[in-house]
């Protein structure tokens, strides 16, 4: 009988790959966002709206279980996009993202978005090489989602609260959701906005421009 | 939702470590902020261990609460993440543990090495 006390981090392999991607991206002065939220919260819509501002300064890696529909939407907005189909997996991993980065032309790119598979739990703990995790929630989901899914929100550097145009139809307290987000991640920048009307998009854009400038 | 792939990663690491010996016991630490379900992981490790020929180890999973380091200097176990620091009430804190899945102990059936 042999007994070994250990401290083996099973995420170590993924973390090494993520660190390599981070090195490549930072070396080029690119700021990278890992966008995480439920299916339907508006991640792709947010990227379409963001594309209007950044144009060719922006590129997108799309993660979905199935189809390249989202990459097609991003390309239709005039933006370079690479689709990853996970074939069932509930989150992207660093190897998939490294492969996608290799397929992008990074020449004019200053900001890279990785739209993770729609899921509020599994993507949270998987490092992809990003500079920041941005959580996206939307009003129809209810204002208690940050409280219920702390694993994502403790890691979030920013939170987008999308679909504010629906406020008149729902019992949603933006204050409550924002307060919970700040409890979970003290320095998180919380940005209520609507992709539909454009309300609040200016704060999102200046947050991103600030992040690029600090690269 | 991805406990099966985590169990696969755990068994890979254990296999590397044990070099062919059957495993008697595995102690795994699961942070409550890891996004991993302890019960599901327990089940998946048993299944993968059997399939990979690692034997039928006893699986012990310790769930640990987040460890927080507050700006006031206090380090504490944070069982209620939406409550502030027990000393100053603040939320300006860093989570220093409880976000990961770690293998803490491996006991093999083989000869003492
Ligand atoms: N009312 C409203 N609907 C939105 C907004 N943003 C996205 N949607 C809608 O929400 C649905 C899901 O959006 P999508 O971007 O595909 O979400 P994803 O799954 O997170 O990528 C679509 O029908 C969008 O038109 C918004 O700000 N307001
Ligand atoms: Mg999408
Ligand atoms: Zn304190």
* Domain residue limits, chain B: 2-108
Task: Indicate if the pLDDT at residue B1 is higher than 80.
Answer: no
Is residue B49 predicted with pLDDT exceeding 60? yes
**Token code pair at residue A215:** 């690269």
- Give the model's pLDDT for residue B113: 47
Give the mean model confidence (pLDDT) for residues A137-151: 98
* CA angle (B39 as vertex; B67, B81 as ends), nearest 5: 25
Q: Which residue has the tokens 């987008």?
A: A160
Q: Calculate what percentage of chain B has a pLDDT beyond 70.
A: 96
Whether the predicted pLDDT of B110 surpasses 80: no
Tell whether the model's pLDDT for residue B60 goes beyond 80. yes
Contacts of A19 (CB under 8 A, 6+ apart): A127, A129
CATH of B2-108, one of 3.30.910.20, 3.20.20.60, 3.30.2320.80, 2.30.30.700: 3.30.2320.80
Asked whether the beta carbons of B94 and B74 are under 8 A apart, the reply is no
pLDDT score recorded for residue A61: 98
Mean pLDDT score of chain A: 97
Q: What is the pLDDT, as a whole number, of residue A1?
A: 66
How many distinct structural domains can be found in chain A?
1
Can you tell me the distance from the alpha carbon of B21 to that of B53, in angstroms, rounded to the nearest whole number?
Answer: 9
Hey, of A5, A7, A8, which one would you mutate to test binding to chain B, going by the most B CBs within 10 A of its CB? A8
Q: What is the CATH number of the domain that holds A14?
A: 3.40.50.300
Q: Which of A42, A49, A77, A140 to mutate to test the pocket of ligand 1 (most atoms within 8 A of CB)?
A: A42
Residues of chain A contacting residue B111, judged by C-beta atoms under 8 Å apart? 2
Q: What percent of chain A has pLDDT over 70?
A: 100
Q: Rounded to a whole number, what is the distance in Å from the CA of A164 to chain B's nearest CA?
A: 24
State residue B112's pLDDT score.
Answer: 54
Question: What is the distance in A from the centroid of ligand 3 to the CA of B62?
Answer: 26
Contacts of B44 (CB under 8 A, 6+ apart): B3, B4, B6, B7
Range of the domain at A207: 5-214
Mean pLDDT of A179-208: 98
Nearest to A124 among B35, B82, B84 (CB): B35
Within 8 A of B106 by CB-CB distance, chain A residues are: 3-4, 6
pLDDT > 70? residue A158: yes
């Amino acid at each position: 009988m042999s007994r070994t006390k250990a401290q083996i981090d099973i995420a170590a392999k993924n973390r090494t790959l993520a660190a390599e991607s981070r090195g490549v991206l930072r070396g080029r002065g690119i700021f990278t966002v890992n966008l995480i939220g439920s299916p339907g919260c508006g991640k792709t819509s947010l990227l379409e709206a963001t594309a209007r501002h950044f144009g060719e300064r922006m590129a997108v890696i799309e993660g979905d279980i199935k189809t390249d529909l989202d990459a097609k939407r991003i390309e239709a907005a005039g933006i370079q996009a690479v689709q990853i189909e996970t074939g069932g997996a509930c989150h992207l991993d660093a190897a998939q993202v490294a492969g996608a980065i290799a397929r992008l032309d990074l020449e004019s790119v200053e900001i890279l978005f990785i739209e993770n598979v729609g899921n509020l739990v599994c993507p949270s703990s998987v490092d992809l090489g990003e500079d920041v995790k941005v959580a996206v929630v939307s009003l129809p989901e209810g204002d208690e989602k940050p409280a219920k899914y702390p694993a994502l929100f403790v890691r979030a550097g920013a939170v987008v609260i999308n679909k504010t145009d629906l406020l008149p139809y729902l019992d949603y307290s933006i204050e409550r959701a924002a307060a919970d987000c700040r409890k979970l991640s003290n320095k998180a920048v919380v940005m209520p906005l609507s992709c539909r009307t454009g309300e609040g998009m200016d704060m999102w854009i200046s947050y991103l421009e600030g992040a690029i400038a600090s690269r | 939702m991805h406990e099966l792939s985590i169990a696969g990663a755990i068994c890979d690491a254990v296999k590397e470590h044990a070099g062919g010996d059957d495993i008697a016991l595995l102690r795994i630490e699961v942070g409550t902020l890891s996004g991993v379900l302890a019960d599901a992981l327990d089940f998946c490790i048993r299944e993968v261990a059997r399939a990979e020929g690692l034997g039928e180890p006893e699986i012990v999973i310790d769930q640990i609460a987040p460890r927080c380091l507050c700006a006031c200097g206090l380090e504490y176990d944070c069982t209620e993440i939406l409550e502030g620091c027990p000393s100053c009430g603040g939320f300006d804190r860093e989570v220093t543990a409880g976000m990961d899945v770690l293998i803490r102990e491996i006991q093999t059936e083989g000869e003492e090495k």
